[in-house]
Amino acid sequence: MPAMTRGPEALLVLEDGTALRGRSFGAPGEAFGEAVFNTGMSGYQEVLTDPSYAGQVVTMTAPHQGNYGVNREDPESPRIQVSGFAVREASHRASSWRADRTLPEELADAGVVAIEGIDTRRLTLRLRTAGAMRCAISTDDLDPRSLAERTRTHPGMEGADLARHVSTKEPYEAAALVGPATPDRRPILRVAAYDFGIKRNILRRLAAHGIEATVYPAQTPAAEVLAGDYDGVFLSNGPGDPAATTYGIESAGALLGKVPVFGICLGHQLMARALGLSTYKLKFGHRGANQPVLNTDTGRVEITSHNHGFAVDPSASTSARPAHVESGFGPVTLTHWNLNDETLEGLRCNDIPAFSVQYHPEAAPGPHDASYLFDRFRALMEAHA
Amino acid sequence: MPRRDDIESILVIGSGPIVIGQACEFDYSGTQGCKALRAEGYRVVLVNSNPATIMTDPEFAHATYIEPLTPESIAAIVEKERPDALLPTLGGQTALNATVALAEAGVLDRFGVRLIGAGIDAIRRAEDRRQFAATMRGAGLALPASGFAHSLDEATAVAREIGFPVIVRPSFVLGGGGSGLAATEDELKAVAGRGLAESPISEILVEQSVAGWKEFELEVMRDGADNAVVICSIENVDPMGVHTGDSITVAPQQTLTDREYQRMRDAALACIRAVGVDTGGSNIQFAVNPRDGRQVVIEMNPRVSRSSALASKATGFPIAKIAALLAVGYRLDEIRNDITGETLAAFEPTLDYVVVKIPRFAFEKFPQADPRLTTVMKSVGEVMAVGRTFTEALGKAVRSLERPDLEAPAGDPALDALGTATERRVLDVEALLGAGNSVDEVAAASAIDPWFVDQIALVADTAEALRGKDLGDLTAEDLLEAKRRGLSDVRIARLTGSNADRVRARRAELGVEAVFKTVDTCAGEFEARTPYYYSTYEEESEVRPAARPRIVILGAGPNRIGQGIEFDYACVHAAFALRDAGYETVMVNCNPETVSTDYDTSDRLYFEPLAAEDVLAVCRAERPEGVIVQLGGQTPLKLAHTLEGEGFAVLGTSPASIDLAEDRGKFATLLRSLGIPAPPHGEAASVDEARRIADEIGYPVLVRPSYVLGGRAMEIVYGPDELEGFVRTAAAAGPDHPVLIDRFLEGAIEIDVDAVSDGRETFVGAVMEHIEEAGVHSGDSTCVIPPPTLSEDDMDRAEEIARALAAALGVRGLLNVQMAVKDERVWVLEANPRSSRTVPFVSKVTGVPLAKVAALVMAGRTLAELRAGGLVPPREVYRTLAHTAVKAAVLPFGRFPGQDTVLGPEMKSTGEVMGIDERLGPAMAKALTAVGAGLPSGGTAFVSVANRDKRAIVFPAKRLAELGFTVLATRGTAAVLARAGVRVTPVRKRSEGGRDIVDLIRAGRVDIVINTPFGRGPRTDGSEIRTAAAAAGIPCVTTLPGALAALQGIEAIRDGLPAPRPLQEYQAPPPPPEQLRLMEPEPEPARAAGEAR
Ligand SMILES: Nc1ncnc2c1ncn2[C@@H]1O[C@H](COP(=O)(O)OP(=O)(O)O)[C@@H](O)[C@H]1O
Ligand SMILES: Nc1ncnc2c1ncn2[C@@H]1O[C@H](COP(=O)(O)OP(=O)(O)O)[C@@H](O)[C@H]1O
Ligand SMILES: [Mg+2]
Ligand SMILES: [Mg+2]
């Protein structure tokens, strides 16, 4: 048999005992985390390096991964963030003029445990029907029973506060990472960006809209940011349970009404909680690049990039798609809805300059349909300058 | 936006006959579209000249016109029907071009017909390469450097500016017609000349060649609220320079990073918006430079297309149906996704499998044609396969082709040869990798992306690891690896010196068996309601238990010459009839263009190769009451024995009976015992034996090899020398491959009979008379119902023979018999215990749905029961029809320059059309117009016939002269005509030098050619004349009966064609569906079917 496709044996188990045998194509060892599936057909490098996947074992539903290798431009953070990676077939050759090396090389060097050759559709269907579960991949313990048992001793995602672990330790200027804000959009605006696990492309999109960002650690007190006299504050995406990310909720609450705020993903959930709305865990979340979101302002449908396991509860309202909810900061318009499952995807405060979306207008990976939200952020700041 | 109420009736234009570049994908699209519009309550008016389509079944439209797709003919329909709107985007290039012509002629304005889907400006912006380039540049999208030319000089000037190599691409042409690469000025002259001739507006684009770049297609949909989504990305394995229709393609794209893919997606959405397609689907092609990622737009098709059919099958997203709904006002987020039932059409499908399409070619039919793959599309069909990985899907696609010669690498190809694409190229890639060349070397030589080459290297490695091993020594893991890499059981058997049955048994023993997964549009995120499955070697199977008894229908596989849409038609009818009768129908097929592979044609769809291993796996998963093998042509028939051997019931005619009809020796004995005359015949294993047999039988003889492998198959031979040549070269006869020799019945009238039998009685659908004499393959000849010249006695005798054969063969289901009438006798040429090419034609013309009847008979109904239910008329109706229908064949000679266009016993046509009228003349004229060889009403006729035809040509030539034609003739023919008092002008043959007839044809000075062949071979005068006629697009009649028929057509045209009438008026109304549903399956259909045998 061709040696190159055959790594050492590896085993993936779910906490319910589901076991899939395959071959290792990353580092040897064991990985534990919440098993989630992503249905995007391209963009594995962005997924692997997205800090929102911290603490998760990711399986891609698309069978071939690694085809175009890994390159220097596409990481969304300085390192691989997933705890483990599970695929049907990994490519051991990188085919792209931009590729630096192969995916298996990258994973092995990063010490990330990865398994290939498994029936990822079976895994996906199990997660869809039974809901998100704890999971392990091991190259050491190939006994499903013992591995499953140990899996069950690990903590789950509910109640997990992970943002502060993936956040920057020190504030820094985005320009150092993604270059200066484009001078095409004037005036250049200054924004404080809370890093709960921020993706690099958010910084690029801000810069492309003439917005200069200073990135702050997740636990930075609001007062410190307010003292910087920024045109606006951005609340980033990130991993974990929003309810457990209490510092983020507090900061959001202290900032709302004082400065224009834009939140994405975890940032949206934190802002919603600060407004007094609640959040809940979805059965298996949304992860992929094909989710239809209706923008109730325009009546148009956007195809959007998603990565979230929690969602904002549009309150006790009984109507299917309530237009508004009340909050401690006045009425809130519910602006975006997921057409697949009618979950809330975005909101806007009526009385104060703040809005947020659950999905990823910065894409990377995924379509650019929602890129206009960065324009909207700019417009909001200009209006409140 | 809800449904539009400002329109009530909608005209849909179909795509006409199957031609290279436009196949049955438009039947699939059109059928979906018509169904959707009908269900929305619109009055649907349909025009399509192709009778073998499901869409032209009367129940899919309110008024169905089987009429030529010329602007004049459609204008007459518009005038009569006064539709409120025209949906031009479902019928391919044909419908778009017809729409533009109708708009330009002012017909749409005059009758207040609105275009829905795409407006005329959008069509022009997309189809006119000049406007397209301007539009794209305006939208900020890059294209290769280019300029436009209307003459050779202009073309040269543009090319000099851009720099060679360049590609020439005409506007408004389909399937890459008239396009080509030119590396030098000389080459440019040839290519540009062809391009200018092909373009209806004599305009070509001369463009920088990006041959060797990666080629991609995106399928995009947009609704009236400007929501736009990408349904599918497709990547070509063969790089730019090979037409996408001829390329091996993969969905989804595999080698672009998300960043590049999203850039392409942005460009595609910008493109559809800039072109201004209001609603519906578009196909947008891109090229990407593999060295730096530069992207350019190649073209866009503002309509459903071959690729959109593929994308629909690949994703489960019914593009044509949604396009139709969007055209009448719905938005994407107002339409449900049928597959999940819970989500909406506003999303982008995501795949957790890989789809591979491979084109199927027919070069063996056109030995003089250039087999290199270029920008001009040459394939006649395609297969699609689904697997969890590329290698698995590739292997399945390869075995779906039914080309034993293309199943495994062979020979010792040279690395340099990879630069030229051929149908063998992927196999050569594998061979070279197997022989030790590196992935990089092979990728560089072929310009195929290294990722694909690397994947093929995995296949090569897997095969090498098995080579020479003993099957018994292979472990489960070895076999699993081989199956996951797409190796067929046949290939594993060959590598291990075993046979496929033993490989299958060994797999079963080790538990290495295929499971089935679902195509669900969403990669498992939502539950799928629609059981659309593919096999794969994985852990978990998703086949759902069934509530009702199941019947498996095996489809016909890829379109090819000789087995096309007509067989799919029969399979689809069976699915409809059996579903109505209470069965769960299970379709197995691998042709993405078809209606049969639409997910809602049958209850369960398996997108699988029609190879034994795959079909058996389906049967094991489904445990059906029985399997129908007689509707998909020769393909499933071959599986009858294997199925029976594995314990699955073959419904209808038994495998033993099928054998009896297919085995020439046994069949001849049967005919003899029934006292039915057949041409004397024999089999020869050597030249000497062949001579002896031919002497015995008497010349001319018809010879064919018993075993054909990519060569010419059948020929009429007039003497011993010719015979020797054939036996030595073409047939390579030997003891294993004898040559079959039949007495050739010269000057015989050929007839076709389609009948259905329940084992007790036989109903004859029709006896059809061919216009051309026997010797022109039945698939290529023009054929008429009711028979215009046969006597009642002949028809009685033909029916009698069909009944006798049905009884003797134990036919349950369909039977097709080909016969010839000569010397006051009816001879049998062959009998096929299966559906035939003519079943749709007969069904349309007579209104009796033969395939439905046959399916119900196979499920145990009797003809008497079906007659009581109204499905079968009390007695045969074909003789007493109040109308006449002509079926004419469409030939692909235009695609294969240099190929002689003469008709013979070897089938060459790709498709067919029908003309229908009360009288033969108009029906004939319409059929020929629909073929594209529109008859002239006056002008110049050129006549040149073989000696044997000289006497008989006098009357038609005289009549032409009387009708005012200028008659030209070559010397010999002219002399005979002059002697008979016909005014005739002699012209030179090419071999006589000077300004000759070929020059006149090329100069457009001739309007019709009548030329019967004498002498064979590509370089004869006749061949050049016919080739020139084909190139000039004028009718070229190659038989005497054809000339007489053409004459009737010409007379009809001069008299003025009668107003078109819809099929619904010609046909007796079909029985209402309630009546079908009344016939519940019998309590134990399994046993009933078993007992029946
Ligand atoms: N500029 C070019 N350089 C090289 N090949 C080209 C170029 N443009 C088109 N082709 C090739 O020609 C094929 C047919 O061209 P296209 O415009 O798509 O014609 P069609 O309308 O028949 O689809 C393409 O699939 C591609 O492989
Ligand atoms: N003995 C014969 N005499 C005259 N023509 C024949 C004879 N046998 C076959 N043909 C011609 O050759 C054609 C093809 O032969 P057939 O046996 O039907 O082959 P296929 O299996 O391809 O349909 C027929 O349609 C008929 O026109
Ligand atoms: Mg094209
Ligand atoms: Mg035949």
Decide if pLDDT at B1005 tops 70.
Answer: yes
User: What is the best residue among B181, B299, B305, B306 to mutate for testing ligand 1's pocket, by most ligand atoms within 8 Å of CB?
Assistant: B299
* Per-residue confidence (pLDDT) for residue B365, from 0 to 100: 82
Q: Within 10 Å of residue B686's Cβ, how many Cβ atoms? A: 14
**Contact (CB<8Å) B255/A39:** no
> A122 — contact with chain B (CB < 8 Å)?
yes
Mean pLDDT of B671-683: 95
CA-closest candidate to residue A125, choices B515, B481, B385: B515
B1078 vs B524, more confident: B524
CA distance B110 to B112: 6
Q: What is the DSSP track for B393-415?
A: HHHHHHHHT--GGGSS--S---G
Decide if pLDDT at B709 tops 50.
Answer: no
Please tell me the distance between residue B715's alpha carbon and the centre of ligand 2 in angstroms.
Answer: 10
* Per-residue confidence (pLDDT) for residue B820, from 0 to 100: 96
Q: Within 10 Å of residue A217's Cβ, how many Cβ atoms? A: 18
**Contact (CB<8Å) A93/B450:** yes
User: What is the best residue among B778, B817, B1038 to mutate for testing ligand 2's pocket, by most ligand atoms within 8 Å of CB?
Assistant: B778
CA distances from B839 to B128, B851, B852, B881 (A): 39, 7, 11, 17
The per-residue pLDDT for range B376-407, each reduced to its tens digit, is: 999 999 999 999 999 999 999 999 999 988 99
The per-residue pLDDT for range A128-158, each reduced to its tens digit, is: 999 999 999 999 999 999 999 999 999 888 8
CA distance B97 to B302: 12
* Per-residue confidence (pLDDT) for residue A318, from 0 to 100: 65
* Per-residue confidence (pLDDT) for residue A5, from 0 to 100: 53
CA distance B19 to B910: 6
Which of the following is catalytic: A209, A268, A306, A360?
A: A360
Please tell me the distance between residue B243's alpha carbon and the centre of ligand 3 in angstroms.
Answer: 7
A266 vs B21, more confident: A266
Q: What is the DSSP track for A351-369?
A: SSSEEEESSBTT-SSS--G
**Which token pair is B174?**
């389909």
Query: What residues contact B535, with CB distance under 8 A and at least 6 apart?
Result: B396, B514, B515, B516, B606, B608, B614, B617, B618
Rg (CA), chain B: 28
pLDDT confidence bin for B883, thresholds 50/70/90: very high
Which stretch of DSSP H or E encloses residue B928?
helix B920-931
**Contact (CB<8Å) A290/B350:** yes
Please tell me the distance between residue B1049's alpha carbon and the centre of ligand 2 in angstroms.
Answer: 27
- Helix (H, G, I), strand (E, B), or coil: what is residue B42? coil
* Per-residue confidence (pLDDT) for residue B891, from 0 to 100: 87
CA distance B1093 to B1088: 9
Q: Within 10 Å of residue B141's Cβ, how many Cβ atoms? A: 20
Share of chain B above pLDDT 70, in %: 95
CA distance A357 to A335: 9
CA distance B610 to A117: 27
Please tell me the distance between residue B249's alpha carbon and the centre of ligand 1 in angstroms.
Answer: 15
Could you write out the three-class secondary structure of B873-887? CCCCCHHHCCCEEEE
**Contact (CB<8Å) B227/A300:** yes
Cα B230 to chain centroid distance, Å, stands at 27
CA-closest candidate to residue B836, choices B810, B812, B813: B813
Of A5, A96, A98, the CB nearest to B458: A5
Strands A133-138 and A9-14: antiparallel
**Contact (CB<8Å) B525/A41:** no
Mean pLDDT of B926-937: 89
**Which token pair is B976?**
């005979």
Which of the following is catalytic: A89, A106, A265, A336?
A: A265
**Span of A306-310, B305-309, B503-507, B1077-1081 with lowest mean pLDDT:** B1077-1081
pLDDT confidence bin for B129, thresholds 50/70/90: confident
Ligand 1 nearest atom to the CA of residue B209, by list position: 3
Q: Which residue has the tokens 């009288």?
A: B919
Chain A 248-277, residues with CB within 8 Å of chain B CB atoms:
none
Contact list, A36 vs chain B (CB under 8 Å): none
CA distance B507 to B487: 13
| Beta-ladder partners of B383 | B358
* Per-residue confidence (pLDDT) for residue B993, from 0 to 100: 75
Decide if pLDDT at B1087 tops 50.
Answer: no
Strands A354-357 and B9-13: unpaired
B663 vs B648, more confident: B648
Q: Within 10 Å of residue A129's Cβ, how many Cβ atoms? A: 11
* Per-residue confidence (pLDDT) for residue A316, from 0 to 100: 61
| ipTM for this model | 0.97
How many angstroms separate the first and last alpha carbons of chain B?
57
Decide if pLDDT at A2 tops 50.
Answer: no
Cis peptide before A365 (omega within 30 of 0): yes
pTM: 0.94
In what side-by-side order are the strands of the sheet with B166-170? B146-149, B204-208, B166-170, B180-182
User: What is chain B's mean pLDDT, rounded?
Assistant: 92
The per-residue pLDDT for range A6-29, each reduced to its tens digit, is: 799 999 999 999 999 999 999 999
Alpha helices in B139-202 (DSSP H): 152-162, 185-198
Q: Whose CA is nearest to atom 19 of ligand 1?
A: B176
CA distance A125 to B515: 15
Please tell me the distance between residue B218's alpha carbon and the centre of ligand 1 in angstroms.
Answer: 15
Cα B732 to chain centroid distance, Å, stands at 30
Q: What is the b/e burial string over B113-125, where b = at least 16 CB atoms within 10 angstroms of the residue's CB?
A: bebbbbbbebbbb
Number of inter-chain CB pairs under 8 A, A vs B = 171
Q: What is the DSSP track for A61-74?
A: SSSEE-TT-B-SS-
Planar angle of CA B815, B819, B820, nearest 5 degrees:
170
User: What is chain A's mean pLDDT, rounded?
Assistant: 96
Contact list, A67 vs chain B (CB under 8 Å): 254-255, 451
Q: What is the DSSP track for B207-227?
A: EE--TTSEEEEEEEEE-TT--
Decide if pLDDT at B492 tops 90.
Answer: yes
Contact list, B343 vs chain A (CB under 8 Å): 339-340
Mean pLDDT of B725-748: 77
Mean pLDDT of B207-212: 96
Q: Whose CA is nearest to atom 20 of ligand 1?
A: B176
Strands A189-195 and B911-917: unpaired
Please tell me the distance between residue A69's alpha carbon and the centre of ligand 2 in angstroms.
Answer: 57
The per-residue pLDDT for range B785-840, each reduced to its tens digit, is: 999 989 999 999 999 999 999 999 999 999 999 999 998 899 999 999 999 999 99
B308 vs B731, more confident: B308
* Per-residue confidence (pLDDT) for residue B727, from 0 to 100: 81
Could you write out the three-class secondary structure of B847-860? CCCHHHHHHHHHCC
CA distance A258 to A192: 13
Contact list, B389 vs chain A (CB under 8 Å): 63-64, 88-89
CA distance A72 to B737: 61
CA distance A196 to A200: 12
Decide if pLDDT at B300 tops 80.
Answer: yes
The per-residue pLDDT for range B99-108, each reduced to its tens digit, is: 999 999 999 9
Mean pLDDT of A57-81: 98
- Helix (H, G, I), strand (E, B), or coil: what is residue B433? helix
Of A63, A366, A368, the CB nearest to B353: A63
CA distances from B423 to B354, B371, B400, B407, B428 (A): 21, 8, 14, 12, 10
* Side-chain-facing half-sphere of B153: CA atoms under 13 Å: 0
Q: What is the b/e burial string over A226-246, where b = at least 16 CB atoms within 10 angstroms of the residue's CB?
A: beeebbbbbbbbbbbbbbebe
3-state helix, strand, coil in chain B (%, to 5): 40, 20, 40
Q: Does any ligand 1 atom lie closer than 6 A to the CB of residue B300?
A: no
CA-closest candidate to residue B383, choices B614, B661, B664: B614
Decide if pLDDT at B978 tops 70.
Answer: yes
* Per-residue confidence (pLDDT) for residue B722, from 0 to 100: 87
**Contact (CB<8Å) A74/B258:** yes
* Per-residue confidence (pLDDT) for residue B1070, from 0 to 100: 44
The per-residue pLDDT for range B136-170, each reduced to its tens digit, is: 999 999 999 999 999 999 999 999 999 999 999 98
Decide if pLDDT at B944 tops 80.
Answer: yes
B259, B393 Cβ separation under 8 angstroms: no
CA distances from A173 to A180, A211, B463, B511, B612 (A): 9, 12, 55, 59, 65
Ligand 2 environment, Cβ below 6 A: B 679, 702, 742-745, 748, 750, 774-778, 818, 820, 829-830, 905, 907
Query: Active site includes A149?
Result: no
B715 vs B267, more confident: B267
Query: Active site includes A73?
Result: no
**Which token pair is A260?**
């224009």
* Per-residue confidence (pLDDT) for residue B234, from 0 to 100: 98
Planar angle of CA B683, B737, B1015, nearest 5 degrees:
70
**Contact (CB<8Å) B258/A291:** no
Contact list, A58 vs chain B (CB under 8 Å): none
Of A64, A97, A125, the CB nearest to B389: A64
CA-closest candidate to residue B805, choices B753, B881, B744: B753
* Per-residue confidence (pLDDT) for residue B154, from 0 to 100: 95
Query: Active site includes A362?
Result: yes
Most confident stretch, A314-318, B485-489, B968-972: B485-489
3-state helix, strand, coil in chain A (%, to 5): 25, 30, 40
Q: Whose CA is nearest to atom 24 of ligand 2?
A: B777
CA-closest candidate to residue B599, choices B522, B514, B544, B521: B521
Decide if pLDDT at B586 tops 60.
Answer: yes
**Contact (CB<8Å) A301/B266:** no
Nearest ligand, CA of residue B703? Answer: 2
CA distance B736 to B706: 9
CA distance B655 to B1057: 48
B122, B277 Cβ separation under 8 angstroms: yes
**Span of B181-195, B447-461, B515-529, B1071-1085 with lowest mean pLDDT:** B1071-1085
- Helix (H, G, I), strand (E, B), or coil: what is residue B745? coil
* Per-residue confidence (pLDDT) for residue A14, from 0 to 100: 98
Contact list, A46 vs chain B (CB under 8 Å): 258
pLDDT confidence bin for B1036, thresholds 50/70/90: confident
Q: Whose CA is nearest to atom 20 of ligand 2?
A: B777
